[in-house]
Structure 1
């Protein structure tokens, strides 16, 4: 199998029965994942660079996704945009997540009490994706919203997810993440491993200015009661006014308490 990074990250979750695995479908989904927050248009060259797929394959997949309503082709610019089919899938996910509905009122109270932003997210390939974010009226942190993606290595949310994975899964993910991060990979992996050591003592993972120069964050993973998948709560705020001690002494205990109300924690 000529696997892309997402194929490899899927393998990291456990053995795959290749008789049942549809490579063409996986490749089509890779094109949809190529869009990053804030991007509205991508061309074939962008798809090739981000997926590693041959240009001819990209052409066929993009055409198929356009016919099915997941992409829209702008003939004037010669580029593709996400279409309504993707939006409908996203709404189906969010409306079907009972934990999200349960979490929202608690997140609102938390955001007001702490004066920061609180987010709920899950893993998506080699990233973590935000399912929802609620900010206090005074929060000055970056405006990450539903659908925003962050590196699993540099974000507190991603590190918290890694911390609760079985050792063999975590090891395989680290190898893929280091490769995907390029020259910065070894340093990012080392930093993430240090945070996982902290998780073993404190039950949380931090990210102090690691993914943005003026953002500090803390995250706590919990397992959904019904679907049994790992979700992650995170709280982020401006590093200029919310230093590491604020997160360690005040925010982390409150976030751990909230996670315990929503599911099973470590």
Structure 2
């Protein structure tokens, strides 16, 4: 089986269910992919995971998890705590993260402008990219008066409920977006809240051509409003997303649509090719 990547998406992380449609099996190293799935099993705020956690989150057999965890420990990407019988991320992962951030020229360019905007509007300004079925923060800068959740670089957001995820979905080619939305719907489940999230995301995607931005009003968090604008990184052509978030109790929908969104669109145009 062989399939080519859509233009500009060859560097995107793929979930397991998407592999059959997008990967040349002759070049794909399954063992490497499985090892990386173990590292991705850690969630923000978690420091220790056991083999049962890895099995539950990756769907891999216990024997496979044991071998992968041992290998990653030997290579310095995991650390095993014998007293707890669990693993923690080790310095190898941290060094990879710093290498990414240090090599992101756009991030260096963006920081002073993000800081100025955060100070001007009294909110948090973030830069992120896609990671699997989530969006991950590369940087977040908050003003001294911002009363927002303290999300740090590396924090992950739902692609369906966050303005950042919706903005990313809005610029994908239609076939790729349809496939990703189908996967997100399956992951979200069939409950009432999941149906509402999907419907809200579809509305924002449909309105993107008109607004040039995507919004999230109390969808991601009960007291957080946000707006996001995507742009292509001139360095490598991938889509990055700028977002701004603030407390819904003091920064209503009108503030984000009329005051913040235009500033965010202008900032995105300075950093790269915006839609």
Q: 2:178 aligns with which of 171, 181, 202?
A: 171
RMSD of aligned Cα (Å): 1.4
Corresponding position of 1:161: 168
**Cα offset for 1:16?**
1.5
Corresponding position of 1:63: 70
Query: Residues 69-115 of structure 1: CA distance to partner in whole angstroms, max 9, x if unpaired?
Result: 00001111111100000000000000000000000010010000010
Secondary structure at the aligned position of 2:221 is classed as: coil
Q: Does 1:81 align with 2:88?
A: yes
Corresponding position of 2:249: 240
**TM-score normalised to the size of structure 2?**
0.92
Rounded to whole Å, the distance in 2 between the matches of 1:117 and 1:231 is: 17
Q: Is the 8 A contact 1:9 1:125 kept in 2?
A: no
Runs of 4+, deviation exceeding 6 Å:
none
**Cα offset for 1:183?**
2.8
In the TM superposition, 1:81-230 aligns within 5 A as 81-184=88-191, 185-230=194-239
Rounded to whole Å, the distance in 1 between the matches of 2:18 and 2:217 is: 26
Q: Does 1:47 align with 2:27?
A: no
Corresponding position of 1:254: 263
Aligned residues: 261
Corresponding position of 2:16: 7
Secondary structure at the aligned position of 1:255 is classed as: helix
Corresponding position of 2:4: none
Rounded to whole Å, the distance in 1 between the matches of 2:79 and 2:139 is: 26
Secondary structure at the aligned position of 1:110 is classed as: helix
**Cα offset for 1:190?**
1.9
**Cα offset for 1:65?**
0.6
Rounded to whole Å, the distance in 2 between the matches of 1:190 and 1:212 is: 17
Distance 1:191 1:11, change over 3 A: farther
**Cα offset for 1:159?**
0.5
Select between 241-250 and 47-56 the one with higher mean Cα deviation: 47-56
- Give ranges in structure 2 of 5+ residues lacking alignment: 2-13
Q: Is the 8 A contact 1:222 1:230 kept in 2?
A: yes
Corresponding position of 2:38: 31
Secondary structure at the aligned position of 1:183 is classed as: coil
Rounded to whole Å, the distance in 2 between the matches of 1:11 and 1:134 is: 39
